[in-house]
Amino acid sequence: MIATIINNGGSIRIPKNVEVAYSTPVLLTQNDRKILIDPGDYTSFGFLEEYFENHNINLEDVTDILLTHLHLDHAYATRFFPNATIYIHGAYKSKPYNKFGLFKSKLYLEIINSWKNVVEIDAGMKLFDGKVLVFHTPWHAKEHCSFVIDTENMGKIL
């Protein structure tokens, strides 16, 4: 399994003006699989597009998406990968998305409803021939998971 960090995540905050967080999209390649971790939201689109164009990857080529958790800055772009199976902890289903506000409620439900195939993950699971080990780390969000990934090019990464 080869890991590529597409862009480093972070946050921008200007009090009373701007508050934006953005994830670190990572592409894992294993044989014919293209596994994307936390593809992000609109702040990641430019980085994803540039990487995909430079490496001749189409949206349909992404086979799997691992989500650390279901927040917009990590999961919004999942809706653009029609063939991807989504891997996420099952606790995401118990959140009251309809109470997240006028705009956010609709966005979250649109994302969830766009998923065709979902695999619920939990602590101790090994994915992708045992190369990805799942840890349930529910402090930031109750469905939050962390992954230890055994890669050929970076060793074990978290």
Please give the domain boundaries of the chain with CATH numbers for all domains. Answer: 2-157 (3.60.15.10)
What confidence tens digit (pLDDT) does each residue in 43-90 have?
Answer: 889 999 999 999 999 999 999 999 999 999 999 999 999 999 999 999
Q: pTM of this prediction?
A: 0.94
- Residue 47 CA to residue 20 CA, distance in Å, equals 16
> What is the rounded CA–CA span in Å between residue 35 and residue 49?
16
User: Does residue 96 carry a pLDDT above 90?
Assistant: yes
Mean pLDDT of 110-125: 98
